[in-house]
Structure 1
Amino acid sequence: MSPFSILLIGIAMSTDAFAAAVGKGAAMQRPRFPQALRAGLIFGAIEAITPVIGWLLGHAAARYITAWDHWIAFGVLGLLGLHMIWNGFRPDSDDDGQAIRHHGFWGLAATGLGTSIDAMAVGVSLAFLDAPIAVVAAVIGLCTLVMVTTGIMLGRVLGALAGKRAEILGGVIMIAIGSVILHEHLSGAA
């Protein structure tokens, strides 16, 4: 897996966290940098841990399905991308607006966990590719730290519209990465 692909995964995995951070930043009363950095650290740590958990689960099952690994990675990343795009076009519900009001550690951690489920699924697919999970997890965590900190600070200015667009872009990136993985494996096998 190339460094550029790893960076794209990191960016794609952090877009839903960015969308949530923009919403949180819009709901906060004049968020300051320490508040934004704290949220970024919480989200980043969770986003870095979840792909490792997924990788461990996928690695345990990898030896049973190595002949299909590229198709599984393509399918998982494609479905995640479609789900992110769908969420990007879906209007927010009142429940989401209520959740934005919680800015304490547990509220941020719950939101971070909710936005990191896709990173766990990516970790599962990376186990089939024998990717360097420590590097990928660190890049995902750092990208999320930067994106969430930035999202909180820009939240009041950008509003929910930019967050939705970021999630759509992240979904497109995930589908593209899955397609590249499939193409690389099918081209190499021919």
Structure 2
Amino acid sequence: MSRRLDHAVGLLERSLVGTRTVLGLVEPGDLGRATPCAAWDLATLLGHMDDSLGAYLEASQGALPLVPALPPAAAAYDDPAGRLRVRVGTLLGAWAGAAERDLDRVGLDGPSGLAADLLVSTAALEVAVHGWDVARSLGAPSAQQEAAATVLPPALAQALLPVARRTVAAGRTEGLFAGPLPARPGDGPVEVLLGLLGRPGRQR
């Protein structure tokens, strides 16, 4: 078994647990809610998460085509949060299997590839932060804070910080992240991590 990939799969599992919980709170009437992602309502965010998890799932087989597969029929999105909850379990099982097979690199439609453990760690980061986005879109402020703390506890944020510092700059170059917010005195790992991704972890 690949130790580095096994560690990354453990990080992915920690990220998926809280996000799966908060996805279970989404009701059909919530899909038009605003999210921390500028110009995205909750339905758009969930669609983006579905696309991302689908790509990470495909990558567990050792290759990631640069041209994505066609999306499922529209009817499959009648319950986007429920669909994502199913994806979560499938994704974790697929990457646990990849670790057992000692998958080292994921091909990207060519001779070069990406380290599998880095890909999975990046998936963990994306899952946790977008889970936090979902949580912050739901209910009253007190409910949002409680759900967000479930998705992104300090220990998980601390474990994801090295991943963010390694990967976010490239994503920002491609327009995937807002500019970073500077850390402030008293910020913990959650606020620092979210700030790296352009999200205020607490009121500024």
The question of a shared fold, defined as TM-score above 0.5 by the shorter chain, is answered with no
Determine which structure has greater relative contact order: mean sequence separation of CA pairs < 8 Å that are 6+ residues apart, divided by chain length.
Answer: 1
TM-score under structure 1 length normalisation: 0.31
Q: Which structure is higher in helix share?
A: 1
